[in-house]
Amino acid sequence: MTYIIVSILLGIIMLLMTGIAILHKNMVVAIIAAGVVSLFASVLYLLLAAPDVALTEAAIGSGLSTIIFFYVLNKIRKNNVAE
């Protein structure tokens, strides 16, 4: 029973974070929200007995891709300022 409640809570948090990632005006907040979605997704995978997938999601989804988004954001900002 607690398992189901925790899963549903995780799902609600993920949906909220997805909304923030799509709708927020500030890009930095949106990128961090997208990273948090991956983080909670990896916890959910762990609960669903898929530790392999959880490891991949935690390292690539919330680690590497967030940093790459920040690098790209930094680059886009510079180009916008130059114009």
We find the least distance from the C-beta atom of residue 64 to another protein, in angstroms, to be: 6
59 part of the interface to another protein, by CB under 8 A: yes
Q: What distances in angstroms separate CA 10 from CA 2, 38, 49, 50, 58, one per listed residue? A: 12, 11, 15, 16, 15
The answer to whether 52 contacts another protein (rule: CB under 8 A) is: yes
Tell me how long the chain is: 83
Residue 34 near residue 21 (C-beta atoms within 8 A) = yes
Residue 51 contacts another protein per CB under 8 A: yes
- Residues near another protein, by CB under 8 A: 51-52, 55-56, 59-60, 63-64, 67-68, 71-72, 74-75, 78, 82
